[in-house]
Structure 1
Amino acid sequence: MPAPLTITARRAMVEELMRREPGISARKIADRLGVGKDTVRRDIAGIEAEQRQSAPDPAAVEPEPAPAAPQETEAGAPDEPPAQPDDAPDADRLTLACDDQLRAGLAMLARAGHTPEDAVRLAVAVLARAYEGAWRFGLYPAGVAPRVRVVDLYPYVPKGDR
């Protein structure tokens, strides 16, 4: 049996399903993720609370300036990693080396309006869902990375036709 999803991973999957299928019921999400509908309802409430907390403050006049870039050494590497906010635990942050393939993929996803952070979340959620399905349906033994060759796409439906 695969290890249970973390709350963060499950909420990312719930959020993605809600984004892809507006109006999807908590019961349908629960069925797809293999959890209870009450769990999904709590996840939705948590997602909505996070969105309210991260919404910009309308009273704010000016955004804070971005921190200065770290100075580079002679070898071209930063002297030290950029400081992280005190309220963000290290376990909740991820740093990726950005090679040409990743840059190209992020540029492609930016054309659809995704920020790099959202694109990474989406990619991880989609791939994690594929792994979870492969393990749950016995296509691969639990813990063995499946070979993913295709992503199932929904047909395009213009917003006014939904």
Structure 2
Amino acid sequence: MFKTAKLTIGLLAAAVLLTGCGGEEKDAGAAAKTGEESPSASASGGAEGSSSGKKGVTHQVVFEVGGEGATQVMWVGNTNHFEQVTLPWTKTESVRLEGAELKLGLLVSVAPGSVKGPDGMLKLAPCTIKVDGKQVADNQNGKSAGPCEFKLKG
């Protein structure tokens, strides 16, 4: 059990380090797995002017972690978050892209902790990300070793 806890903490720490930059491109395989594409700007109200005169696009991002019980969850939307949660768990954020983020994108992600599987063994909790109502990422019901992540673009 102690080794599993250390592994979970290590995976979450790695996810924080990997998602903290947000400027790196995903590899082609990861993009294909999530069906990465930018959701329509019209679904979120389109481009809007900000007080600085720059155009921006706002997307509604829904992070979900399934299962029962409690686990640790790390998610990156507008900022990085890490907390102990009760499952199932959902968090919705409005994420606004401006300037270079419109072209380069912004990585959003959720890294769930472990939950007890039907066989009594610990496994990664299932996670999904929805952008503007469309599911854009999942971890195949906890079978994928990595976090759920998606690069938002304008």
TM normalised by structure 2 equals 0.24
- Please tell me whether Structure 1 or Structure 2 has the larger radius of gyration of its CA atoms: 1
TM normalised by structure 1 equals 0.23
